[in-house]
Structure 1
Amino acid sequence: MITFFNAKHVHHQGAVEMFRGALLPCFEVAARVERVRDELRRRRLGAIEEPSPFDDAVSHRVHAPRYVDFLRGAWDEWVALNPAHENRDALPSVWSVRHFSFDVGTPLTRGAWRAARSGAACALSAAESVRSGAAQSAFALTRPPGRYSGYDFFGGYCFLNNAAIAAQALRDGGVERVAVLDVDYYHGNGTQCLFYDRDDVFFMSIHGDPRTEYPFFLGYADEEGAADGNGCNLNIPLPRGTEFSAWRAALAHGLRAIAGFRADAFVVSLGVDTFEADPISGFRLRSEDYLRVGEDLARAGLPTVFMMEGGYAVDEIGVNVANVLEGFEACRS
């Protein structure tokens, strides 16, 4: 497996976020991907490379051009309002009827655009390596994550939707049917919105029940797609406290649905905040369980692009992500 690492992620580090009524230090920190990179190196799980450059217009295949323009210039506009903003992250606090952000938990920093743009490059490089046949599987190791960002909005720590950008690149490169499997603890509302009315991309998510878990307004089991995409969206919400046996049964159900869709390639939004010690999530998977997750994903037998998403137990994140990839590679060899 080849890994594309976003070295520019360090330019984005929020100071605080709003989490369930409290202003707290950000959970989405630089050490997350660095721990994963170090563990991949330790286990020698394939080459780690820089992504190839790309034109921002590629992002317009997924995101609104005006939204991409906003992200590119938002920090300069923020500082122009008041020079004191130079040392203060931008957190949205007032909404018009339609705003670019949907929560108050995603600080927009000086380096957010630079980090997010390089993350999209990782997604595109990983997708191209798989599409071209240069690799059967690839991993975009990047932060900030991407799955909550939609056509013209950010939130949930996410600015550009890396999984959707990869899926669209596969389609544009001639792959007829793409499946996006989201295994993060929280529902990937942005990815769902981007493909909800399409029949060429199947979106499937296992996540905490949105009646009690973020993002609350999407992720319910009755959301099955619309128009041409009817039947191409599958949500499996599970209660807080779910252990691996029940979670794995949900994964098996989702993989059967993806097989029925007859996907030609696979994008996996790989969040490991399903871990039992994750500080902001509620499932009960253990580190050894992630080996089994990787094996189950490998049995789908599809060219696969992995996308780094959530996971906030920093001390264990490297082991948990590497276990998924090691289990996947062992089953494929």
Structure 2
Amino acid sequence: METIYTEKHKLRDAKTELFGGKLVQPHERPSRAEYVIDRVRKVRLGPVSDPDDFGMDPIHAIHEDHFTEFLKTAAARWKAEGFEGEAIPTTWVARRMSNIRPNFIEGQLGYYALAGETSLTEGTWEAAYASAQVALTGAERIRDGARSVFSLCRPPGHHATADMYGGYCFLNNAAISAQHFLDKGAGRIAILDVDFHHGNGTQDIFYDRDDVLFVSLHGDPHETFPYHLGHARENGTGKGDGFNLNFPMPPGTPFDVWRAAMAKGLERIADYKPDVLIISLGVDTFETDPISFFKLKSDDFKTMGADIAAANLPTHFIMEGGYDVDEIGVNAVNVLQGFDAAAGA
């Protein structure tokens, strides 16, 4: 399996995250991707390639242009105002408040943020842009005939909506990939999100559409981030009614329960008959991940990959979360090796 990867992910190197009432070293940091690419090379998964540059048009097919302009300029504007720390929002558009966008950078942070842990720093836009190009290059490989590709995206993307960032996510790589397939002639795309955290951004983007089926397996939003989406009753609206499927699960969920939920999701995907399957590949379901509560073990990720391969679809893996940094490389690559072994690659 080919891996698409760029060193430009290192440009996103925030020093602070709001966590547990403190400013701490971010869970989402450059070493995450470095451990994964080191493992890809160690096991000789396949060739590693730099991304091509597809420009802004595929990004703007998903994201509002005023939002991307904000991401491009926020860190510099924050610094120009004389603020010494990294840019973190302090206000939000809360219930019963006006939804008018402020002019001042501090107000705009709260207008565009959906959570407060993620700082905006110099280099964030460049890394997010490069991450989207990694996803788009993987999509093009699938369009050119590859049966599977791994886009090692960092920063991740599945919490980003068309006009909001948060949860360490700025541009929604899976959504950008899905829309690119559709714009190039595909009829239907399925996205299976196996990250511990619900892909609220991806759900929001496609919630009223029937050309993208979104299936998410995740921690119960009553108990964990992102809290405000991801319930089982959220099935889509309008044309999208029935094309959004959530499997929230409680603390302590073991692999057999998780796997049974994925089997149901894959059954729905099989019924949908998509042209391409996109996997939002988070491995923060691991038993020792510091910000999750599922109990998957390293070998379980091989089984996960094999189960995905049984769908027998062109499959685009896009890296999302996973914050036990010492084990992220093993766990992510176990999924890919399990897939390859089952697919006979």
Aligned residues: 329
Cα distance in 1 between the residues matched to 2:293 and 2:23: 20
Query: Equivalences for 1:144-163 in 2 at 5 Å?
Result: 144-163=155-174
Q: 1:95 Cα shift?
A: 2.2
Matching of residue 241 in structure 1 with residue 252 in structure 2: yes
Aligned-residue RMSD, C-alpha: 1.0
Structure 1 vs Structure 2: percent identity of aligned residues?
49
Cα distance in 1 between the residues matched to 2:70 and 2:34: 28
Unaligned runs of 5+ in 1: none
Does structure 2 conserve the Cα–Cα contact (< 8 Å) formed by 1:16 and 1:25? yes
One-letter amino acid of the counterpart of residue 75, structure 1: A
Which residue matches 1:121?
A: 133
Q: Which moved more, 1:20-29 or 1:229-238?
A: 20-29
Matching of residue 94 in structure 1 with residue 91 in structure 2: yes
One-letter amino acid of the counterpart of residue 219, structure 1: G
One-letter amino acid of the counterpart of residue 131, structure 2: G
Q: 1:94 Cα shift?
A: 1.6
Unaligned runs of 5+ in 2: 100-110
Cα distance in 1 between the residues matched to 2:114 and 2:90: 10
How does the TM-score come out when normalised to structure 1? Answer: 0.97
Which residue matches 1:178?
A: 189
Which residue matches 1:54?
A: 54
Which residue matches 1:103?
A: 115
How does the TM-score come out when normalised to structure 2? Answer: 0.94
One-letter amino acid of the counterpart of residue 120, structure 1: A
Which residue matches 2:107?
A: none
Q: 1:20 Cα shift?
A: 3.9
SS in 1 for 2:190: strand
Cα distance in 2 between the residues matched to 1:142 and 1:201: 21
Which residue matches 1:312?
A: 323
Cα distance in 2 between the residues matched to 1:221 and 1:121: 32
SS in 2 for 1:266: strand
Q: 1:132 Cα shift?
A: 2.1
SS in 2 for 1:305: strand
Cα distance in 2 between the residues matched to 1:43 and 1:235: 34
Q: 1:22 Cα shift?
A: 3.3
Does structure 2 conserve the Cα–Cα contact (< 8 Å) formed by 1:6 and 1:115? no
Q: After superposition, give the CA deviation of every residue in 1:167-212 in whole Å (9 maximum; x if it has no partner).
A: 1111111111100000000101000000000000000000000011
SS in 1 for 2:112: coil
